[in-house]
Structure 1
Amino acid sequence: MDISLAPEVIIVLMFSCLMLLMATGQRVFGVMGFVGVAAAMWLWGGDGGATDMGFNAAIKLFNWYPLLTLPMFIFMGYMLAESGIADDLYHALHVWMGSLRGGLGVGTLFLMVMISCMNGLSVAGMAIGCSVALPELVKRHYDKRMISGIIQAGSSLGILVPPSVVLVLYAMIARQPVDALWLAGIVPGLLLAALFLVYIVVRCWLQPELGPAIPPEENRHTLAEKLQVLSAGILPLLLMAAVIGSFFLGYASLVESSAIGALASIVIAFVRRRLSWLVFTNALRQTLNASAMFMWIMMAALAFAAVFDGLGAVRAVEALFLEDWGLTPWQVLTLMILSFVIMGIFLDDTAMLIIVAPLYIPIIDTLGFSPIWFGVLYVLTCQIAYLTPPFGYNLFLMRAMSPPDFTIKDIYLSVVPFVLLMVVAIALVMIFPQIALWLPERFAGA
């Protein structure tokens, strides 16, 4: 291999080309795959196997057996959404919490946490929040920015709480046990949800106009009626127990537990008399769209990362941080976290993960940090990237699915307090690693 430029310079050039082409509005997977293959051709020429490098790297994707969990978990979430189970859950939360200031906001957050536990993706939470919770919150005269912030921040919990699809992908790439990563995400996820909840309650208590309580005459329910609507959450809770419990207790593998979840979601829809051909085909269609998007991005990112491996990028970056710049391990870790935030402006979590995980994980091992702990920090940072302008994923989804009177300014400003709370959560997990590591060390031997 004859490279006239230093590997560091080539890495910078590749990322610069990637960002420049994405600024033109092209598809992420197309730009990423093109830059990776073009860089391979430039560095090694057509006779050195460079023409096959991108294809060979991408085809590895089909050898990842645990990747079968991806469409299963996605289907499970969409089936529950299409069959109206989420509507039942929200109605129950509406009855129980509507009489409190900000109560529907708190109920919406609880709904998001439950949907996260059933789906593991942010996009499903956004779709359900905008279709189920948003109209009711608007009807009850909640502040637009409060509504937007709750839905966007609450949906981001889907990539941290089990069964997180992003943590499954991280486990495959970093070669870490999925059960340990799922356990590691539970306490930080609950911590973040608690921070959101406290903020909503305190803010709406101090400023009742942001989240007014439902008038008593509109929310008169007997205890028997409240207990009856509460039954709406029993079947989804059983679903979560079946999926996560069967895996953790060793009764099923990860792929088998995802299949159990997909089948159980169909059974739940049937039991609730919500299963129809339209519901089934809509869930399948949305699953296909989401899964295909993940697959294309992952294949392109693997082709891009193959050039990194050929350049020896891990050794180059490690030498740059530790030898040339003389940084301490914590300074290196902080730079990695900041790089996630910057890349998250332009890339989605899957693309970012496949690009940087092969680069950063060996360095994390060298520095003596836990890859499990680092995985939680990565996901927490992805949540911030979802909500930060100008290209935050959830910002675009919120704009596309909200009414016209929700301006882009409202949507951008709505996430500021929640992003600050996420920064607090990251700081706490960095300062106290046991927040993420206690459960894995106790139950998974991580």
Structure 2
Amino acid sequence: MSYEMIAITMFATMLVMLLTGQRVFAAIGAVAAGAALLLYGTGSMEMPFNAAFQLFNWYPLLTLPLFIYMGYIMSETGIADDLYRMFHVWFGRIRGGLAIGTIGLMVVISAMNGLSVAGMAIGATIALPELLKRNYDKRMVTGVIQAGSSLGILVPPSVVLVLYGMIARQPVSQLWLAGAIPGLMMAAMFIIYIAVRCRLQPHLAPILPKEELDIPLREKLKLLRAGITPFLIFFFMTGLFVLGYTSLVESSAVGATAATIAAITRRRLTFRILHETVKKTLGISCMFLWIILAALAFGSIFDGIGASRAIETLFITNWELSPLEVLIMMQLSYIVLGMFLDDTAMLVIVAPLYVPLIVSLGYNPIWYGVLYTITCQIAYMTPPFGYNLFLMRSMAPPEVSLWDIYRSIVPFVLVMTLALILVIAFPEIALWLPEQVSR
């Protein structure tokens, strides 16, 4: 069997196992182990051990549990609730103000956690009932929450970019800096869309009743002080890193410590909350560690049989595609895979193939990490099996149907596609901040 057929067989076998509902790390690891034994014999048993030591020597991975812990502490202790109440009061007089405030909430939750699931959970349980109760259009607000929560995998500290950095062997600090401006740009584009649409169609977002907004200035300032805590934690954490006072790992420790202190000073940190937070943090961190281990083993097999060179030959020599056309083909493949798989599975499947090809085409792998992440955001919201669509359906109230959810994401997917085109056309959007900090 040729090496090309071996690569295709491995790829197809892994897809079949994933589609049967197997855990991601088990499907990927099993295919890697089986292929290694068949190709290299019993000597290949050392490969998992080599992958494990490579993983344990990767110091930035310490940021993963610290940032996840920080996000859960702030959500479990109600600090995120305070933030939404602040948005409710301060943006309620603007047409569509609560929807705009929800995008702001999603940005901050993203900056606290780095996972889209956390933003989706908080948005669906806190923001969605409040918006529906105030007669906001159900299709628009479900789209707002899905689009806003997708920022969690782009705005630092993005866990997806940590995984990309590990698999692509790129510095996580540079990837996070590269994701910051595109993430904020996309949030601004969402806000502009909401403001314009609510101005053109006022019935979608009625202004809140006067009695809900006419509260004393003292109460408003009190809410502002309570809601601004997440902003202060985030800017304190990232400010120290950008200014060079702390390393990446030290910044994550600063964020986790600051979140814990904020919860203690507000007398909201109980033993039960701490226990649940640590339990959830450990569960998610271990899941990602297993996935990375499986990805490293799978990637080493692919590298060994020359699959990346075969893909390069197919795209450039046989199909005679230009570098830009190859790039577009890659992004389209992510969208197709995203209809069936989550971002982690997509990354593990195609990164070992695409990253060497990107480098050989002369593209910056840091910039490509941002493109990959934006495309994952679009794939998350692409019917029929977009990951975020079913998360929203499982958490939304009964009056929000799956058809409502499908229709709600159309304008936001178009906005995200425009953002992707802008980052492709102007790589400086992603690369300017890493270049400035590295000087």
Work out which of the residue numbers 381, 384, 407 in structure 2 matches 1:390.
Answer: 384
Equivalent residue number for residue 307 of structure 1? 301
- 2:29 aligned partner: 33
Cα–Cα, structure 1 residues 17 and 175, in superposed 2: closer, same or farther, change >3 Å?
Answer: closer
Contact 2:120 2:146 in 1 (8 A): yes
Deviant stretches of 4+, over 6 Å: none
The question of 1:110 aligning with 2:104 is answered: yes
Q: What is the aligned partner in structure 2 of residue 407 from structure 1?
A: 401
CA gap of 1:20–1:173, structure 2 versus 1, over 3 A, is closer
1:55 Cα offset (Å): 5.3
The equivalences for 1:276-287 within 5 A come to 276-287=270-281
Counterpart CA distance in 2 for 1:365 and 1:424 is 25
Q: Which 10-residue stretch deviates more, 214-223 or 76-85?
A: 214-223
Aligned pairs, how many?
Answer: 439
| Deviation, structure 1 residue 59 | 5.2
1:415 and 1:299 map into 2 onto residues whose CA distance is 34
Give the corresponding residue for 1:350. 344
**8 A contact 2:83–2:228 mirrored in 1:** no
In the alignment, structure 1 segments of 5+ residues that lack a partner are: none
CA positional deviation for 1:418:
0.9
Structure 2 Cα separation of the partners of residues 443 and 68 of structure 1: 22
User: What is the aligned partner in structure 1 of residue 235 from structure 2?
Assistant: 241
- Specify the alignment match of 1:13 in structure 2: 9
Is the 8 Å Cα contact of residues 389 and 405 (structure 2) preserved in structure 1?
yes
Q: Quote how far apart the aligned CAs of 1:52 are.
A: 4.3
CA distance in 2, matches of 1:429, 1:60: 32
CA contact (8 A) 1:184 1:440 kept: yes
The 3-state SS of whatever aligns with 2:208 is coil
Q: Is the 8 A contact 2:96 2:207 kept in 1?
A: yes
Q: Percent identity?
A: 61
> For residues 295-354 of structure 1, what are the alpha-carbon distances to aligned partners after superposition, in whole Å with 9 as ceiling and x for unaligned?
222222223222211211122112222222222111111112122222223332233323
Q: Could you tell me how far 1:243 is from its partner in structure 2?
A: 1.7
The alpha-carbon deviation at position 266 of structure 1 amounts to 0.6
Moved more, 7-16 or 72-81: 7-16
Question: 64-73 or 288-297: which moved more?
Answer: 288-297
Deviation string for 1:126-146 (max 9, x for gaps)?
111112111211211222222
Q: Does 1:421 align with 2:415?
A: yes
Alignment equivalent of 2:193, drawn from 189, 196, 199: 199
Q: TM-score, normalised by structure 1?
A: 0.93
Of 426, 429, 436 in structure 2, the residue corresponding to residue 432 of structure 1 is: 426
Q: Aligned in 2, Cα 1:24/1:397: closer, same or farther, shift over 3 Å?
A: same
Alpha-carbon distance in 2 for matches of 1:40, 1:390: 35
Write the deviation string for residues 248-302 of structure 1: whole angstroms up to 9, x where unpaired.
Answer: 2222221121111111111000112211112211211221222122222222222
Structure 2 CA distance for partners of 1:282 and 1:97, relative to 1, 3 Å? same
> What do the CA deviations read for 1:161-208 (whole angstroms, capped 9, x no partner)?
122222233233333333332222122111111111111122222223
Under a length normalisation based on structure 2, what TM-score does the superposition of the two structures give? 0.94
- 1:322 pairs, out of 304, 308, 316, with 316
Unaligned runs of 5+ in 2: none
In 2, Cα distance between the equivalents of 1:228 and 1:19?
52
